[in-house]
Structure 1
Amino acid sequence: MSFVFNKKNFIILLATIITLSLFISWKSINETDAATTSFRFVVMGDSRGSSDGINETTLRSLLTEVESLSTQPEFIFFTGDQVMGGSDVAQELSDWNDLVDDYFPLNKVYPALGNHEDDETIFSNSLTHLPANQLEGYQRTSYYFDFGNARFITLNSNRKDRGNYVIDSTQRAWLESILENSGKTHHFVQFHVPAYPIGAHYGKSLDANREQRDALWDIFDEYNVTAVMTGHEHNYNRREIDSSFNANGYRFENSIYQVTIGGAGAPLSTINRDSQNVDIGPIASYHYMVVDVVDEIAKFNLYDVNSNLIDSFEVERSSDSTQPSTTTIDFQNGVYPTSAYEGTSDSYLSENDSTVNFGSERTLLIDGDDPSRTGKNKYAILKWDVSDIPANKSVISANITLDVTDASSSSYEIYELKRDWYEAEVSWEQNTNGSNWEQFGADSLSDRGSTVLGVITTNTTGTYTVELNVDGISVVQSWIDDSSLNNGLMIANSSNTNGLDISSSEAVNSTLRPKLTIIYE
């Protein structure tokens, strides 16, 4: 059979060649992107006008400077507030798209949702090139993409809790999952509202909900992200977040820059209300940032609208720096992990008052001979809700900090409790109303373990910390793996005649209440 090479066949063949060529080109680019460790990107933010739309003059000037760079960026990160917003936010975003596209392909520009275009649906419908529904329910406002040896993450800081900006627990869980599995050397994160503002929005950004803010930063710290980039405050400032910002039960091990890049057109501000660890700024000039990634080094250069250098710094991350570091968390009623925590239960069991509940007492009594010369025992029991720790974490160490109000010359041991109990019901005879210990005083092996988990030895009053041993760490690990196994601990020693008194979780001074500290990875 002969093949007739007519006009129709020629068109089909040409279309096939073009399609195949585009596929090969796309495949090659993506393979190159995944392999490259040397590339450039630009960061800008807050291009809205003072009262309407866009500050077109300033944004065009900045984009012209970017367009003139000898090495062009692969893409642009934009930290939010692209437009002024309001009833015509959809049209304003359309105008913004058209303006940016005059200088740079729109599908290479990655904005964050700002408070001025704070409509997730309109934002998502206006920027259809952004990844969609990577986090269910957030449309195109929370997303990530990979380029070379880096992962780029955008979060939505405009979900509100009691009127305060917050990056909520849903986003935090998603964030941790995409950091944990990235396999990248660098992680760059952007969102609009700063975690640690310094100026006009101090106290009214993520810091208005500090406990959730610290939970977010704890994830950044755990995975040692390369940089966190924000906008909202209309200036440039660079702030180093490290252990000096420890709070709410979170302890930061790394130093990470929060870089506020908010000068692409919005009215500038020089207000400075908190200068802790601020390396530079606030600088009230319009600006853009160029970031050059070369292997393990990310070099940041900030330029004003005339391309004068304002700031320059480098961040190094090793290829294994994204492995989780250890996290320390405290559990103490009214203090840690948050002031709302009420997960500690405690009481003591008195052989001399076998049916009495002491769950509301402010002091826990421990003794092997009380009243004196009777040989009757008093045992303290304590329990902490540790469900804030994810079930897939491994405990490295654990300790208990106590406020000793009456010291002892003798030692007291810590044991695992095997049977559940309720603070308001427990006594020497019963663990809960209508249910007795197998042996009064929780003295059977089905009531408590026989293995010593730690030893308390102190002959002075005041703060005392006891480290749990390997067996103690294993018990705490079991609580994290299966919360139903968390029946708490007992402090006891039947042979001691010199008692030990400690403050309970009902102590008036919340900082004196029993505290459990866990370090995990």
Structure 2
Amino acid sequence: MLRQAALILLLLCLPGRYSSFLFAEDKIVGGPYAVNVTGKSATIGWVVQSGEVKVGDARVVPVLRSEKVTMTGLKPGEPVKYTIPGGLTGTFKTAPAKPVAFEAVVFGDTRTRHDLHRKIVGAIEKINPDLVFHTGDLVTDGLDTEQWPRFFDIERTLLAKTAFYPVLGNHERNSRRFYEFFDVSTPYYSVDWGGAHFVLLNSDLGNSALSAQAREAFWSEQLRWLDEDLAKAQKAEFRFVVMHHPPFTAVKSRQSGNTPVKAMVPIFEKHRVTVVFSGHDHNYQHHLNNGVHYVVTGGGGAPLYPVDAPIEGTTIKVESTEHYVRLLCGPGSTKIEAIALDGRMLESFELKP
């Protein structure tokens, strides 16, 4: 009996899928949230603070752990309600298997000016999207444990009622926290949702590995995977890419360099990608190049950048303001709306398959 009791206790204390309770001193500081949502499976995650470390006389660093459980056997296109240990609840919808109308939001660069980040999240929450994509730079420094509880506090109510798909930005520093919190095994993957195919990429080459050789190997493998993944998705009515660094920008100081990301452009054109969403530049931009739309949405709270160098023959719309992008996707048509924090419609355009 003692051995059996010890085994049960061990299973309950294991991190991840077997954890099912909170210790008295624990408190939930992140989530709950749904990630890796497909038509038949999803992962529910939450972040627990189990203590704190005092540094000097003033600084306190939280001790965090990631908890998660993966659910399978779900039905496509249906709402799911759940309750995590501690009594917090959440909802999300699984990915529809057939082309149907759905609503998504894309935004990013929420790392600073937390009051504006909170207002952007509040505006997004009101439209109740089925899924949310974050274009990276969730926090200022992904290696700094103190910053993650603030991010989750600001996004708490939004994350509790949607499916969440973030990508790595340069400010995440390729932190293991990002992988732990959002149950990311590889920093590039794809998901099908109601007739649309979404590809999520890691454009932060500089932090992808420690050595130049390892970074080159990572980038080559990601490009190979991207080419194969998009080739398999040609039956999807719409193909979208989400990543942090934009291949095209109207910010003058950013127009040089970024050669690896620009090398992705031929792959996007080859496989007729509908829209490439990115962040990194803290403003709104819309470019069109060889049939592919490039939307920069980095207005989630970070200090704004000027749009001082539109690209002749490519740039369609630019504005330096806080905003988010709304994606209204349905069979035969997709509508893109860029909405400023004050509610103004920065731009609206419709796309056909």
SS in 2 for 1:311: strand
Asked whether 1:155 is paired with 2:205, we answer: no
CA offset digits 1:257-314 (Å, max 9, x no partner): 1100010100011142342211111x11110111101212110011111221111111
Identity of aligned residues (%): 26
Q: Displacement of 1:148 after TM fit?
A: 0.8
DSSP 3-state at the match of 2:254: coil
The structure, 1 or 2, with the larger RCO (C-alpha pairs under 8 Å, 6+ apart) is 2
Q: Which position in structure 2 is the counterpart of 1:314? A: 350
Q: SS of the counterpart of 2:272?
A: coil
Query: 1:257 is matched with which residue?
Result: 293
Q: Find the counterpart in structure 1 of residue 284 from structure 2.
A: 236
Describe how 1:27-176 pairs up with structure 2 within 5 A. 29=78, 33-49=96-112, 55-69=113-127, 72-85=128-141, 87-88=143-144, 90-105=145-160, 108-128=163-183, 132-133=184-185, 139=186, 141-160=187-206, 168-176=219-227
Q: Are residues 66 and 213 of structure 1, via their aligned partners in 2, closer, same or farther at CA, if it must alter by over 3 Å?
A: closer
Partner amino acid, structure 1, of 2:154? L
**Counterpart residue number, 2:247:** 195
Q: What whole-Å deviation, never above 9, does each CA across 1:210-236 have from its counterpart, x for those lacking one?
A: xx4454111110111110011111110
Correspondence 1:177 to 2:228 = yes
> Does 1:186 pair with 2:235?
no
3-state secondary structure, aligned to 1:168? helix
Query: Do the aligned residues in 1 keep the contact of 2:102 with 2:328 (CA within 8 Å)?
Result: yes
**Aligned runs of 1:259-408 on 2, under 5 Å?**
259-276=295-312, 277-281=314-318, 283-317=319-353
Structure 1 residue aligned with 2:20: none
Counterpart CA distance in 2 for 1:269 and 1:27 is: 41
Aligned 8 A contact 2:246 2:296 in 1: yes
**What is the number of residues matched between the two proteins?**
261
1:26 aligned residue: 75
Pair 203,285 (structure 1): closer, same or farther in 2 beyond 3 Å: closer
Whose radius of gyration is greater, 1 or 2?
1
Would the aligned equivalents of 1:201 and 1:233 in 2 still touch at CA under 8 Å? no
Aligned equivalents of 2:262, 2:140: Cα separation in 1: 29
Could you say if the C-alpha distance between residues 91 and 201 of structure 1 is closer, same or farther in structure 2, counting changes exceeding 3 Å?
Answer: farther
Asked if 2 retains the 8 angstrom alpha-carbon contact of 1:292 and 1:298, the reply is: yes
SS in 2 for 1:264: coil
Quote the offset at 1:40 in angstroms. 0.6
Counterparts of 1:125 and 1:214 in 2: how far apart (Å)?
29
Match of 1:208 among 258, 274, 278: 258
Instruction: Tell me the alpha carbon deviations over residues 422-477 of structure 1, each in whole angstroms, 9 at most, x when there is no partner.
Output: xxxxxxxxxxxxxxxxxxxxxxxxxxxxxxxxxxxxxxxxxxxxxxxxxxxxxxxx
Cα pair distance change 1:98/1:278, threshold 3 Å: same
Change (3 A) 1:176 1:38: same
Q: Deviations over 1:107-131 (max 9, x none)?
A: 6121111111122422211222xxx
Q: Is the 8 A contact 1:46 1:232 kept in 2?
A: yes
In 2, Cα distance between equivalents of 1:23 and 1:269 = 43
Alignment partners' CA distance in 2, 1:38 and 1:28: 11
Q: Which residue, 264, 269, 273 being the options, matches 1:221? A: 269
User: RMSD of the alignment, in Å?
Assistant: 2.7
Distance 2:107 2:268 in 1: 21
Residue identity in the other structure for 2:190: Y
Q: Higher strand share goes to which structure?
A: 2
How do residues 501-512 of structure 1 correspond to structure 2 at under 5 angstroms?
none
Shift of the alpha carbon at 1:101?
2.0
Amino acid at match of 2:241: V
Q: Deviations over 1:113-170 (max 9, x none)?
A: 1111122422211222xxx43xxxxx3x21211111011111111113979x998221
TM normalised by structure 1 equals 0.47
Residue 83 of structure 2 corresponds to none
CA positional deviation for 1:315 = 1.5
The residue identity in structure 1 corresponding to 2:102 is F
* Alpha-carbon distance between aligned partners in 1 of 2:302 and 2:344, rounded to the nearest angstrom: 20
